[in-house]
Structure 1
Amino acid sequence: MHSDLCLVMDQGSQSSRAMIFDRFGNCLSQAQVRIKIQLTPPNRAEQSPEQILISLKRAALESISKLNSADRRRLKSASLITQRSSTLCWDADTGEPLTPVISWQDRRGVHYLEELAPLAPLLRQLTGLYPNAHLPASKLRWCLEHNNFSKALHRIKGGPIAAWLIKNLLHEQTDQIDGVTAARTMLYSINDKSWHPELLELFQIPESLLPDIKPCQHNYGNLKLPGCELPLTFVSGDQAAALFAFGTPSPENLYINLGSGGFLNRILDTPGLQPQERLLHHTILAARQPLFSAEATINGAANALEWAFNICRPHSRQLDKWQTEYPDPPLFMNMVGGVGSPDWCPIERSCWIGEEEEPKARLVGVMESIIFLILRNIEAMSALPPPEKIIIGGGISQLNSLCQGLADLSGLPVLRYKQQEITAMGAAWLTLNNSIRQMEPEQRFTPNTNTALKQRYRNWSKAFNKHLDEVRDEL
């Protein structure tokens, strides 16, 4: 007997995707629509709300249109996964956007956090987050201060892009947000599981601005797509969903997802903050029962490679081949988008160190810097029990040289599955009843002795620490 299917809408930094899954994790149909981002130095990154909404609807309708009539009848529910920290304001009555989408990569609100620096331990205790400008709280405060909302504030709503998409995708047009995404705002108490009055006061944000918080698994309403009346029953942030791609995540594994940014997650046996209070996010996860994770972030992953390709302009994109041609690339001080954990430096001052000017060699150096930033965060997680293996996903995880280098440097086996879109597959596992995952890894990268790479990592770490100190002196 055939099981039900679900539509997963995955709204990311670079594109909107829609995929249709069965309960075994098989993808029956998919579509993708690219979207643009406007980067304005030194710290702004914006996207068009209308373009994002249209792209998501197009992807959803295209994926549904590819199904045969029998499978279309099996389509019973939908889920929505979004970039967690991209933020905007909208008209509470009509849902019309009143600001651009301020991307998670945007750091214009950093000065608000500098003002609150003495209260960082309190912020961390309440939210489980290390305060930084990528999170929505400072973005919302900036919106309130730089837009003429004061006379009609009762008609304004604001928050992560997930809430605005719920408003505009559903017939009901309600202002709702899932708890996982709410927990990423720096305005949400992880103990009370609600917007926290003290946090709202610190960021000067009225609670009336924010959407109502709902569980990830909730009947949010019905999609208003032509010829499609699917109920939206699951909403969550992208990285939280990705952890469930292959079933319930295990504390024994280190999970890495490499999209525009990179994210490392370890499931915690017990909730609460760990000793490395300046290093890691501790995020509530979307699950059938509560789970917590320690999360580390890398700002410069796929976006660092894209940035470097635009600067170096090589004739092709064969990084795996170039890695063997240039075994000693220049060291890249990867600060694309600023530096995430464990260093938390908002300034972007990327550069290469070394004499090699060949563009291909420089790009290999950028790829290696991603491996080095991953290992820097693995070392920052040293208070946790050592992981047994790494499970990796996301677009640039398809680089064999990156996976092998990570295995060699970490000393851990790296497992990569055939399905790259692990965020959507995790959402499907959490949306469909009786989901089953019995997939075998597509490839296993076993650690090799790599003395040269380990020495380059030591050289890079020394140079990166010096470079960070010099950049911080500018603050």
Structure 2
Amino acid sequence: MTYLLALDQGTSSSRSIVFDALGRVVAQAQLELPQIYPQPGWVEHDPEEIWRTQLATAREALAKAGITASQVQALGITNQRETTVVWNRRTGLPLHHVIVWQDRRAEPTCVALRERGLADTIQAKTGLLVDAYFSGTKLKWILDNVVGARQQAANGELAFGTVDSWLIWRLTNGAVHATDVSNASRTMLFNVHTNQWDAELLQALDIPASLLPTVKPSSALYGEVAPDLLGHAIPIGGVAGDQQSALFGQACFKAGMVKNTYGTGCFMLMHTGGNFQTSHNGLITTSAAQTAPTPEFAIEGSVFVGGAVVQWLRDGLHA
């Protein structure tokens, strides 16, 4: 019997699940992820805590399943999207706390982009509305506000990624800096028609291309887990942002199929196939999880606070 290991790095927790060859859950482990609120409207995570909890749950899930890593055929990653990590390529050390997707500190940058008349261009290329939700403005904030960050970026010393890229980097001991199209499509820097980073958008946000990860289809060989971490070199064979992976996991493979899920937030996605469809009602267009290089799309509506309000009531109001 061979197995698959799924890493689910979410906003509220890190979880790992072992599946057998028939898709049945064999074992799972989960650890809560602490939230950091430096000031109103700001939400952060400790990137080392993300890594620690994710690795710990992977080891625990394998132990609960009673198997070794050598029995795992492949590992897949699904992750909280838009959440932004910047680290040093040489040392692997994070430059700043992770800026979480819910964080609003980059709104002044969004105002400036709108005033420059770039909103239509950004939506046409990325499918996204100009909003602090997305990673590109968060990355710009880090480069502009962390001492020495701009110079280090200009020297090619820094790496940027969403949480999947951070986990891939750590899992491969720094050998691979990569992401998938579904996560790249949430940065406001990625042309979803060509599946490439967009030079005009990088220039608009003053972001050096050297920071960016290689982009692959959601189903691809990303590299191998370093043997010392789990006891064996496991291929990393799939990556997708949490909502696109939920769309795929609910078997919504064709245009017109819709899913709605409830977690930290609430998200509705409708697959639109190869049709890049622009909403006239405030929804966004995004890349769906892709098993091939050909672009596929979805329309998405998001509610930022769902299950997160329960955690806030507990920790903030002690309710």
Same-fold call, TM > 0.5? Answer: yes
1:232 aligns with 2:231: no
**In 2: Cα distance, 1:265 partner to 1:24 partner:** 27
Residues 72 and 213 of structure 1: CA distance in aligned 2, closer, same or farther (over 3 Å): closer
Contact residue 110 and residue 130 of structure 2 kept, 8 A = yes
1:378-430: CA deviation from partner (whole Å, max 9, x where unpaired): xxxxxxxxxxxxxxxxxxxxxxxxxxxxxxxxxxxxxxxxxxxxxxxxxxxxx
Give the alignment's TM-score, normalised by structure 1: 0.62
User: What residue number does 2:177 align with?
Assistant: 175
The answer to whether 1:293 aligns with 2:291 is no
Q: Return the offset for 1:245.
A: 2.0
Correspondence 1:240-259 to 2 at 5 A? 240-259=244-263
Unaligned runs of 5+ in 1: 315-475
Match of 2:22 in 1: 24
Task: Return the alpha-carbon distance in structure 2 between the equivalents of residues 100 and 227 of structure 1.
Answer: 29
The answer to whether 1:207 aligns with 2:209 is yes
Match of 1:82 among 79, 85, 97: 79
Q: Is 1:160 matched with 2:162?
A: yes
**Conservation of the 8 A alpha-carbon contact between 1:172 and 1:221:** no
Structure 2 regions of 5+ residues with no counterpart? Answer: none
In 2, distance between residues paired with 1:215 and 1:128? 18
Distance 1:279 1:151 in 2: 37
% identity of equivalent residues: 30
Q: Secondary structure at the match of 2:182?
A: helix
Give the secondary structure class of the aligned counterpart of 2:270.
Answer: strand
For residues 236 and 81 of structure 2, what CA distance do their matches in structure 1 show?
18
**Residue pairs, 1:396-435, within 5 angstroms:** none
Which residue number in structure 1 is paired with residue 46 of structure 2?
A: 48
State the alpha-carbon separation in 1 of the partners of residues 290 and 193 from structure 2: 17
Q: Corresponding residue for 2:223?
A: 221
* Greater alpha carbon shift after TM alignment, 153-162 vs 49-58: 153-162
Matched-pair contact (CA < 8 Å) for 1:251–1:267: yes
The aligned counterpart of 1:145 is 144
Which residue matches 1:185? Answer: 187
Aligned with residue 281 of structure 1, among 284, 288, 299 = 284
> Residues 221-247 of structure 1, C-alpha deviation per residue, up to 9 Å, x if partnerless?
111214132111111111100112243
Aligned match of 1:398: none
Q: 1:204 to 1:219 in 2, by over 3 A?
A: same
Distance 2:316 2:62 in 1: 39
Instruction: Give the match for residue 267 of structure 1.
Output: 271
Equivalent-residue separation in structure 1 for 2:149 and 2:282 (angstroms):
36
Q: CA deviation at 1:270?
A: 4.7
Could you say what the CA RMSD is over the residues aligned between the two structures, in angstroms?
A: 2.0
> Aligned partners of 2:170, 2:315: CA distance in 1, in Å?
35
CA contact (8 A) 1:285 1:291 kept: yes
Whether the aligned pair in 1 keeps the contact of 2:225 and 2:234 (CA below 8 Å) is yes
Structure 1 249/143 Cα, relative in aligned 2: closer, same or farther at 3 Å? same
Tell me which moved more, 281-290 or 216-225.
Answer: 281-290
- Compared CA separation, residues 150 and 41, structure 1 to 2 (3 A): closer
Partner SS for 1:200: helix
Q: Distance in 2 between matches of 1:135 and 1:207?
A: 17
- CA, structure 1 residues 184+49, in 2 after alignment: closer, same or farther (shift >3 Å)? same
Contact 1:106 1:133 in 2 (8 A): yes
Quote how far apart the aligned CAs of 1:310 are.
5.4
Q: Which amino acid aligns with 2:100?
A: S
Q: Indicate how the Cα distance of structure 1 residues 134 and 302 shifts in structure 2: closer, same or farther if over 3 A, else same.
A: same
Contact 2:265–2:304 under 8 Å retained in 1: yes
Match of 1:68 among 47, 50, 66: 66
Tell me what 2:100 maps to. 103
Q: Which residue in the other structure is 1:15 paired with? A: 13
C-alpha spacing 1:129/1:29, structure 2 compared with 1 (3 Å): same
Q: 1:269 to 1:53 in 2, by over 3 A?
A: closer
After superposition, the C-alpha distances for 1:131-167 in whole angstroms (9 at most, x for unaligned) are 1101111110001111212333221111212212211
Question: 1:269 & 1:226 partners in 2: Cα distance?
Answer: 37
Equivalent position amino acid for 1:281 in 2 = I
Shift of 1:260: 0.8
Q: Is the 8 A contact 1:7 1:79 kept in 2?
A: yes
- TM-score, with structure 2 as normaliser: 0.91
Rg larger in 1 or in 2?
1
Alpha-carbon separation, structure 1, partners of 2:204 and 2:290: 30
Aligned length: 310
Provide, for residues 51-85 of structure 1, a one-character-per-residue CA deviation record: whole Å limited to 9, x for no partner. Answer: 1101000000110112234x865421101111111
Distance 1:58 1:309, change over 3 A: closer
The answer to which structure has the higher helix fraction is 1
d(CA) in 2 for partners of 1:143, 1:172: 21
SS in 1 for 2:143: helix
Classify the secondary structure of the residue corresponding to 1:221: strand
